């Protein structure tokens, strides 16, 4: 027997074992595949791990047809409720539990900041998140099973398409949580990321799913030979073309910076347990100011940027604090900082208005004036507010009993001495297509840069801050805008309009970063103009190719 035949037979054997698995073995295979897939995410980026993980998932969906026995109850059952369809859903759900539990484990660390009050919530939060989001992966495998109709050459396409559809759903359902989209695995490669300027992160997810699931064809005894090799080889050829195209785009890009904007990013590295202690607030403010005023030869910053809720007081009720902070503002420049904001209380005519609390971003001039303010509009459930508070009687994770109020939406702020900026507070940066104010087409409302202020101290030394930083890089490529990220601790950095990291800090480091501001692209990217419509159109083309391959591909069957 030739070695090639031996390898071929081994793949067929593996496929048959996966397809024939039942009961707890089937569930364990799905769960472990989800755990393996997480290895491809930041910070590990072991992208080849996706191939066995998603190949096994595809085989599990294929094996669900063996369970096509109508459910008990209504005579004959319906296609939607046959046990095979539920078997496909279950395979995706168990895969999703492993994928999200391992990918989002760091969320549980935030409950340990005040462990006495919140540690009991860890299993509910982690199991609730992983089990809830796994439903969407279960729906994608169920939909793939229903639409592929038992054809392996269509199944791997359908799982890719439906995976991306439900990633998109996850981006807005119940306020949305588009964290760890599969396209994020490519953030180790500047060249591969360039596709996001056309199709966004969902486009990267689509080609990644196709490439990772396509090898499932090689294990099918009915689809071996030239046709399967051509399909798999063709997809990997397209992946190589995407990488080469991105490398060529970067080759033409060069480096360009604004001449008169010199940034200082301040990362104070304040432990979350100490951040709001009244007796330490003066020390925290001195920490920020000393880093802001540090002298560096041949460099004089024009704009200083502090992280999310950096200022430990309300500007409107502390004129002395505002004057003190203004001492670090360069003449003719500005300080950009996160700070809590409060409104309401007693008005000038003696009336009492309801008090509201905001997680805000301020632009301060060298005249100790707040010239622009943005209020965070996409709040973190249970972190900044408790949804259904009249039913769920728990405290939010952040300090204080009062919930934060959401702002009106994205804004573009004008900054003295710098281009207009679109501010993003904390995880607002993970929402593709919603980071650049009111941009679109040739709108004059396009900002010159993005600023993401955040506080990743909640998540310690974990994969969370790395995943957060990776999401920020994707936004810069999608919009063709430089992004400046400033964290209390986490990963602060300067990212150019092509997603290239020009400067960055490390986790748990007290430091500052001096950098010029990279220039934005002259106009919006394709994604900046059309958003996710491009990837939806591509998905339609991919579906048509899988249904009518003879119209698109010249495949000689063996």
Do 305 and 209 lie in one domain? The reply is no
What is the pLDDT confidence band of residue 436, given thresholds at 50, 70 and 90? confident
> 279 lies in a domain?
yes
Residues near 550 by beta carbon (within 8 Å), at least 6 away in sequence: none
pLDDT at 228: 86
What is the pLDDT confidence band of residue 556, given thresholds at 50, 70 and 90? very low
Do 64 and 159 lie in one domain? The reply is yes
Do 240 and 268 lie in one domain? The reply is no
Span of 44-58, 407-421, 427-441, 477-491 with lowest mean pLDDT: 427-441
Between β-strands 418-425 and 257-267, what pairing exists: parallel, antiparallel or unpaired?
Answer: unpaired
**Mean pLDDT on 80-107:** 92
The single-letter DSSP state of residue 403 is: P
Residue of 384, 426, 428, 478 marked active site: 426
Do 217 and 236 lie in one domain? The reply is yes
More reliable by pLDDT, 354 or 486: 486
**Is-catalytic flag, 297?**
no
**Is-catalytic flag, 308?**
yes
The CA distance from 386 to 403, in Å, is: 7
Contact 129, 108 (CB under 8 A): no
pLDDT over 80 at 2, yes or no = no
pLDDT at 445: 77
Do 268 and 229 lie in one domain? The reply is no
Whichever domain contains 262, its CATH number is 3.60.110.10
Reported as a single tens digit per residue, the pLDDT across 366-391 is 999 999 999 999 999 999 998 887 78
Span of 261-275, 389-403, 453-467, 531-545 with lowest mean pLDDT: 389-403
φ/ψ of residue 468, rounded to 5: -65, -45
Cα end-to-end distance, the chain, whole Å? 20
Do 469 and 387 lie in one domain? The reply is yes
Between β-strands 370-375 and 413-415, what pairing exists: parallel, antiparallel or unpaired?
Answer: unpaired
Contact 211, 239 (CB under 8 A): yes
> 548 lies in a domain?
no
pLDDT at 558: 41
The CA distance from 394 to 121, in Å, is: 10
> 524 lies in a domain?
no
Residue 83: alpha-carbon gap to chain centroid: 34
pLDDT over 90 at 345, yes or no = no
pLDDT at 557: 45
pLDDT over 80 at 77, yes or no = no
> 538 lies in a domain?
no
Contact 180, 467 (CB under 8 A): yes
| Boundary residue ending a domain (203, 234, 251) | 251
175: left (phi over 0), alpha (psi -120 to 50) or beta: left
- What does pLDDT average to over the chain? 91
pLDDT at 7: 59
Do 221 and 339 lie in one domain? The reply is no
Do 212 and 361 lie in one domain? The reply is no
Between β-strands 449-454 and 418-425, what pairing exists: parallel, antiparallel or unpaired?
Answer: parallel
Do 349 and 417 lie in one domain? The reply is yes
> 537 lies in a domain?
no
Do 270 and 416 lie in one domain? The reply is yes
> 546 lies in a domain?
no
pLDDT at 350: 64
Residue of 62, 167, 376, 434 marked active site: 376
DSSP letter string, 331-363: TT-EEEEEEEEEEEEE-TTS-EEEEEEEEEEEE
pLDDT over 50 at 358, yes or no = yes
With a pLDDT cut of 70, the percent of the chain lying above it is 90
pLDDT over 60 at 523, yes or no = yes
pLDDT at 396: 86
Q: Which two tokens stand for residue 404?
A: 């934060």
> 529 lies in a domain?
no
Do 458 and 425 lie in one domain? The reply is yes
More reliable by pLDDT, 73 or 232: 232
> 527 lies in a domain?
no
What is the pLDDT confidence band of residue 317, given thresholds at 50, 70 and 90? confident
What's the structural domain count of the chain?
2
Task: For residue 354, give its domain range.
Answer: 257-518
pLDDT over 90 at 76, yes or no = no
Sign, Cα dihedral of 351, 356, 357, 359: negative
Reported as a single tens digit per residue, the pLDDT across 441-453 is 344 578 999 999 9
Sign, Cα dihedral of 16, 22, 24, 29: positive
pLDDT at 150: 79
pLDDT at 1: 45
Do 97 and 8 lie in one domain? The reply is yes
| Boundary residue ending a domain (235, 251, 267) | 251
φ/ψ of residue 156, rounded to 5: -65, -30
pLDDT at 75: 45
**Is-catalytic flag, 151?**
no
Reported as a single tens digit per residue, the pLDDT across 106-142 is 999 999 999 999 999 999 999 999 999 999 999 999 9
Residue of 62, 167, 275, 308 marked active site: 308
- Point out which residues pair with 515 in neighbouring strands: 263
The CA distance from 27 to 29, in Å, is: 5
């Amino acid at each position: 027997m030739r070695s090639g035949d031996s390898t071929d037979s081994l793949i067929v054997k593996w496929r048959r074992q996966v397809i024939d698995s039942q009961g707890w073995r089937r569930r364990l295979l799905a769960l472990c595949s989800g755990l393996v897939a997480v290895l491809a995410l930041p910070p590990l980026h072991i992208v080849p791990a996706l191939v066995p993980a998603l190949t096994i998932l595809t085989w599990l969906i294929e094996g669900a047809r063996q369970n096509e026995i109508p459910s008990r109850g209504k005579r004959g059952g319906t296609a939607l409720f046959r046990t095979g369809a539920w078997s496909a859903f279950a395979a995706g759900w168990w895969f999703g539990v492993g994928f999200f539990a391992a990918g989002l484990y760091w969320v549980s660390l935030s409950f340990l900041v005040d462990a006495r009050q919140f540690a009991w919530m860890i299993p509910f939060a982690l199991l609730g998140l992983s089990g809830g989001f796994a439903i969407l992966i279960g729906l994608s495998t169920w939909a793939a099973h229903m639409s592929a109709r038992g054809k392996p050459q269509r199944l791997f396409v359908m799982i890719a398409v439906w995976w991306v559809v439900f990633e998109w759903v996850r981006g807005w359902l119940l306020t949305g949580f588009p964290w760890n989209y599969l396209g994020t695995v490519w953030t180790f490669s500047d060249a591969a990321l360039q596709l996001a300027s056309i199709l966004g992160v969902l486009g990267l997810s689509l080609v990644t799913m196709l490439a990772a699931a396509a090898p499932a064809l090689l294990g099918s005894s009915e689809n071996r030979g030239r046709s399967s090799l051509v399909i798999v080889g063709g997809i990997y050829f397209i992946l190589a073309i995407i990488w080469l195209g991105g490398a060529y785009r970067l080759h033409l890009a060069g480096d360009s910076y604004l001449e008169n904007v010199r940034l200082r990013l301040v990362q104070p590295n304040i432990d979350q347990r100490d951040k709001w202690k009244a007796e330490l607030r003066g020390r925290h403010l001195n920490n920020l100011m000393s880093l802001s005023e540090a002298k560096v030869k041949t460099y004089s910053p024009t704009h200083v940027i502090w992280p999310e809720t950096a200022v430990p007081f309300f500007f409107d009720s502390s004129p002395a604090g505002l004057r003190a902070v203004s001492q670090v503002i360069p003449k003719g420049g500005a300080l950009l900082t996160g700070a809590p904001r409060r409104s309401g209380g007693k008005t000038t005519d003696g009336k009492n208005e309801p008090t509201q609390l905001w997680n805000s971003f301020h632009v301060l001039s060298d005249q100790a004036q707040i010239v622009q303010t943005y209020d965070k509009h996409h709040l973190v459930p249970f972190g900044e507010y408790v949804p259904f508070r009249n039913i769920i009687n728990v405290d939010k994770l952040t300090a204080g009993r009062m919930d934060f109020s959401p702002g009106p939406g994205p804004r573009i702020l004008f900054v003295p001495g710098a281009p207009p900026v679109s501010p993003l507070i904390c995880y607002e940066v993970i929402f593709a297509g919603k980071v650049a104010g009111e941009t679109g087409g040739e709108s004059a409302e396009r900002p010159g840069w993005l600023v993401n202020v955040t506080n990743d101290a909640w998540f310690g030394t974990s994969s969370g801050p790395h995943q957060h930083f990776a999401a920020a890089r994707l936004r810069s490529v999608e919009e063709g805008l430089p992004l400046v990220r400033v964290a209390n601790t986490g990963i602060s950095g300067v990212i150019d309009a092509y997603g290239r990291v020009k400067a960055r800090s490390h986790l748990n480091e007290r430091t500052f970063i001096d950098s010029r501001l990279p220039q934005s692209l002259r106009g919006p990217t394709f994604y900046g103009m059309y958003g996710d419509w491009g990837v939806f159109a591509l998905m339609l083309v991919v579906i048509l190719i899988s249904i009518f391959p003879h119209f698109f591909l010249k495949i000689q069957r063996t």
